[in-house]
Copies of this chain bind each other. A is one copy, B any other.
Amino acid sequence: MPQPPRRRRSSISDVARLAGVSVGTVSNVLNRPQRVSAATRERVQAAIAELQFVPNGSARQLRVGSVTTAGAIVLDLTNPFFTDVARGMEDRLAQDDWTLMVASSEEAPEREARFRRLFEQHGVQGVALVPSSEDVAPLLALHERGVRVVLLDRPSPVPQLASVAVDDVAGAAMAARHLLAQGHRRLVLLNGPRTILQCADRSAGVVAALTEAGLDPAEALEEVTVTLNAAGGERGAREVLARRTGRGPVAVFCVNDLVALGVLRTLRREGVDVPGEVAVVGYDDVSYAAELTVPLTSVRQPTHDLGWTAADLLVRGGAAESVVFQPELVVRESSGGGAAG
């Protein structure tokens, strides 16, 4: 078997030599073809084709400073919410002929830092990221170094950084109010780590709704920390079933739809009736929420717009704006909402 070929890539000066022109002319053919006479241009282009010349991006970038590329760092690439956001970003970036590179931090601050560094070294114009920790210092530093930064899915805690978010407190409060309206008096919140702001906010929203209804959150709310995926939901559901005291139905509010999916899966396996015995509400309203065995009540976020707007801020790059969208509750069968009203 042949060794993988690592023969030296041909450079602009190889092209120049072959075409019998100077390097500057080749560069002009590449970047301002109209400045070059048709004859030379063709000669150079023939040489480029013959040598299979591909400009060295590093060299170009070293000289020019940066490229029209943006990076996105999300918490979990397998969560449809984040891929929809990425899609929104791509749609906006495409308008200005920018490209997007996506990376997944898996909620690990070190991974996030690694990708931040990688993107910065690759000279991206800007980075949109869902922070995996509360510490904004490294992001401010990044911004100071001239890389545009937009916080995704959480409001910026500092005025220097732009952000695009959805009001998580309001969204969670809507969900909790809805469950209270169904007659529930005790809620279980399957939540992620509080270090992720979205999780903290959703918790706060539930607490607000309970308080507003005259209930004592310390009594009425039980919060279980789970991983933000279906496996987490399965574990959470087992926990809920184990702790379930005899009295009455339980309401489970899941921090996202993947968790809710895990919950529904486990409840179905255990033969637990939804919403009769356990009511379930999710968050994000992923595309298949309405098509599940028990259609899932969920809090819809303007996912695509979120990404679109983030990318828009990156491209426009003006002052640091903070945009906040409002979520919307979509009531379906899993919370008993359709019937009870």
Chain B residues whose C-beta falls within 8 Å of the C-beta of A7 in the assembled complex? 146
Q: Interface size (A, Cβ < 8 Å)?
A: 62
A291 touches B319 (CB 8 A): no
One of B83, B290, B318 near A78 (C-beta < 8 A): B83
**Please, how many angstroms separate the alpha-carbon atoms of A77 and B103 in the complex?**
12
Partner of A5, one of B57, B118, B146: B146
**With an 8 A cutoff between CB atoms, is A320 at the interface?**
yes
On whether the beta carbons of B102 and A101 are closer than 8 Å, the reply is yes
Contact A9 B101 (CB under 8 A): no
**A24 on the B face (CB < 8 A):** no
Which residues of chain B are within 8 angstroms of A54 by Cβ–Cβ distance? 117, 120-121, 145
C-alpha gap A265/B60 in the complex (Å): 50
Within 8 A of B (CB), among A263-286: 264-265, 268
Does residue A6 face the partner (Cβ distance < 8 Å to B)? Answer: yes
CB distance from A6 to the nearest CB of B (A): 5
Asked whether A318 and B141 contact (CB < 8 A) given A114-B99, A261-B291, A264-B291, the answer is no
Least Cβ distance of A97 to chain B in Å? Answer: 9
A55 on interface, CB distance cutoff 8 Å: yes
Q: Is the CB of A99 within 8 A of B103?
A: yes
Judge if A37 is at the interface, Cβ distance under 8 Å.
no
| With known contacts A4-B317, A52-B144, A100–B103 Cβ distance under 8 A | yes
A4 to B315, CA, bound (A): 12
Q: Mark A106-131, 1 if CB is under 8 A from B, else 0.
A: 00000000110110111100000000
User: A60 near B121 (CB under 8 angstroms)?
Assistant: yes
B87 in contact with A77 (CB, 8 Å): yes
- Chain B residue, CB-CB nearest to A104: B90
Nearest 3 CB-CB pairings of A with B: A57-B121, A1-B319, A58-B61
25 chain-A/chain-B pairs, Cβ below 8 angstroms? A1-B318, A4-B146, A4-B317, A4-B318, A4-B319, A5-B143, A5-B144, A9-B145, A52-B141, A52-B145, A57-B120, A57-B121, A57-B122, A58-B59, A58-B62, A58-B121, A69-B118, A77-B86, A77-B102, A78-B80, A83-B83, A99-B114, A261-B287, A288-B288, A292-B292
